[in-house]
Structure formats: structure tokens, C-alpha cells
Amino acid sequence: MEELLRRLREATSVFVLTGSGISAESGLPTFRGVNGLWRTHRVEELASPEGFARNPKLVWTWYNERNAAHRQAKPNAGHYALAELEKRVPAFTLATQNVDSLHLRAGTKNLLELHGSLRVARCTKCDARRSLDATGLPVEEIEHECGGLMRPDIVWFGEALPETAWRQAAAAASQADVVLVVGTSAVVYPAAALATHYARNAYVAEINPEETPISDGVDCSLRGTAGETLTTLVERFLASTRHKTLPRDPKHNYGGS
Ligand code: OAD
């Protein structure tokens, strides 16, 4: 962690990529771990345009349940630590693959939601958007007045990422001095390329209790949970930058009047 702290202190630009692991300590399941969503649910039925076309009610029932779980969950120490870090570095971008809005609720400002969010439904035909509350979209309201179907405003398998968010994320990862990769298995592309191809000029640190396919290529692997590890990292970062930059004891005159 020492070298990562040194790099963070010197960084003018920090980029963070997160995945479902950062929300595990908020009680939300990941996708591929033990009890992961894709272990018990069929991805092609629930997270593809074809699955939605076949059975929109089933898809909405599932996303409405997830939406309700997201709203009941609270951001954890990892989300808050990243929001704190954002305030202390000159440039900061957080790209998340999560659709749970927990980074937003923790106060992260420069947030790119690469896979969309469950706060909104969108029409498949006219692109009209509708905000969702904790109840989600009632299944009797799936049909939109234009003849299209309201769907979750998220990215499904086989679909492109939102163009602007992707462009901004790729630029931020390419320009970053330090990249943190937190709680993602790094197997879903193109998001995972932000931690590899696009981050090739940065010092890359992975925070994950388990090894991932990118572990061998990163500069630093911190094996621990996001909540604990990010709290320690950001606390130590703040302590060391305070030491370096905070105004001195006003009783001492350091040359000012
Ligand atoms: P995965 O389930 O593939 O990976 C979750 C990662 O989080 C694993 O590497 C775990 O080891 C790690 N993890 C578990 N608990 C953790 C903790 N407390 N702290 C830190 N890390 C922890 O989920 P994602 O990488 O998010 O896409 O999956 C990427 C995409 O695949 C998702 O956005 C979703 C999914 O299909 C779409 O739906 C398009």
C-alpha cells in the first residue's frame, strides 16, 4: 500500500472502475460469486434484448425486485471512502458497472454509469424516459403509448455502452496517473478494458478479496474487501496529505503577517 499511497499523493488524475463487489458489503449480491445472480438466474432471459422481447413481464418483475433491494440497501464504507477521495485529488472520475445508484447516494460527483441505472425506464421505440420510484415499473404499464415497450435504462448483453459515458471513461482512464479497480471480476468487456488497455500509462491497483484475470498485470493487488481496504487507504492518504499541506499552527509565524 505504501507505493500506492505515494502515487496517490503525486497524482493529478485518478480513475476508478467499480463492479458489483463494492456493493457486496451493502448486502447486494454480485453476479458470478457464490450466490451470484448469474449462478441462479438465466442471463439470456433477464439481461438481453431477446429475453426482454420474449417475456417483458418476467424481466420487469426481476428488475423491480432488484430496484427495491437497491433502494433498501445503503452505501457502505467503500462507497463513502471513494466519495471522500474525490474531494482530495485534483481530477477524479469514477466509472461503475453497477446500476444500483449507491455511488450517487454516497456523494460521488464525477460518476459515469457505464451500464446505465435502474432509476429510469426507457421506451424501445421512441426513447421516452420515465423515472422509477421504489416500486419500479408496474407490469401493466410496460406498453408505451407510442406502441413501444418501456424497458430498464440499462445495458444488456450484446448492447453498446452509452456513448458519452464510454468516451469520457476511456479518456479519463487513459489520462489517469492512478487507476483503482474495485470489486469487479474484470471479465465483461468493454468495461474491463478500462483497467487494462486504457490504463496502460497509469499505476493500477486492484482491490478485491480474490484474484481476477487482470491480477497478474496490475501494479498492486490489495486482497481485501472494498469497505475495509478503501477505508484504510483513504484514511492513510488523508493523514499523509494533511501532514504535508494543512495550514500550520496559527501561533507560529511562517513568514506571513
Ligand atoms: P462479478 O460478479 O463478475 O464480480 C464481482 C467481483 O467482486 C469478484 O471479483 C469478487 O471477488 C469481488 N468481490 C466480492 N465481494 C467483494 C467485496 N466485499 N469487496 C470487493 N470485491 C468483492 O461482478 P462485476 O464484475 O460487477 O453486467 O460484473 C460485471 C458485469 O457483469 C455487471 O455489470 C453485469 C454483469 O453481467 C451487465 O448486466 C451488463
The answer to whether domain 1-28+75-115+161-257 and domain 31-72+119-154 are alike in fold is no
* CA dihedral sign of residues 48, 51, 53, 59: negative
Q: Pull the grid cell for residue 98.
A: 453497477
Share of the chain above pLDDT 70, in %: 94
Candidates 3.40.190.10, 3.60.20.10, 3.40.50.1220, 1.20.58.220; CATH matching 1-28+75-115+161-257: 3.40.50.1220
Q: Residue 100: is its pLDDT beyond 60? A: yes
Pocket test for ligand 1, best of 26, 30, 153, 187 (most atoms within 8 A of CB): 30
The predicted structure's pLDDT at residue 242: 73
Say if CB 101 and CB 116 are below 8 A apart: no
Q: Residue 246: is its pLDDT beyond 60? A: no
* Mean pLDDT over each residue of the chain, to the nearest integer: 92
Q: How far is 47 from 29, CA to CA, in rounded Å?
A: 16
Say if CB 199 and CB 172 are below 8 A apart: no
Q: Give the domain ranges of the chain.
A: 1-28+75-115+161-257, 31-72+119-154
The rounded Å distance from CA 210 to ligand 1 centre is 11
What tens digit of pLDDT does each residue of 43-80 get?
888 899 999 999 999 999 999 999 999 999 999 999 99
The predicted structure's pLDDT at residue 166: 98
DSSP letters spanning 154-194: E--TT-PPPHHHHHHHHHHHHH-SEEEEES----STTGGGG
Kindly report which listed range (115-119, 212-216, 220-224, 250-254) carries the lowest average pLDDT score: 250-254
What tens digit of pLDDT does each residue of 102-160 get?
999 999 999 999 999 999 999 999 999 999 999 999 999 999 999 999 999 999 999 99
Q: Pull the grid cell for residue 123.
A: 421506451
Longest dimension (CA), the chain: 74
Q: Residue 245: is its pLDDT beyond 60? A: no
Q: How far is 198 from 219, CA to CA, in rounded Å?
A: 15
Atom of ligand 1 nearest to the CA of 99: 33
Say if CB 11 and CB 177 are below 8 A apart: yes
The predicted structure's pLDDT at residue 241: 87
Mean pLDDT of 79-104: 97
Say if CB 194 and CB 17 are below 8 A apart: yes
pTM here?
A: 0.92
Q: Pull the grid cell for residue 32.
A: 458470478
Q: Residue 249: is its pLDDT beyond 60? A: no
Q: Residue 250: is its pLDDT beyond 50? A: no
What is the homologous superfamily of the domain 31-72+119-154 according to CATH?
A: SIR2/SIRT2 'Small Domain' (3.30.1600.10)
- 115, 144, 197, 243: the catalytic one is 115
Say if CB 152 and CB 116 are below 8 A apart: yes
The predicted structure's pLDDT at residue 244: 52
62 lines ligand 1 (CB under 6 A): no
Catalytic residue status for 115:
yes
What tens digit of pLDDT does each residue of 12-46 get?
999 999 999 999 999 999 988 777 777 777 888 88
The predicted structure's pLDDT at residue 44: 80
Q: How far is 177 from 14, CA to CA, in rounded Å?
A: 6
Alpha carbon nearest to ligand 1 atom 39, residue: 156
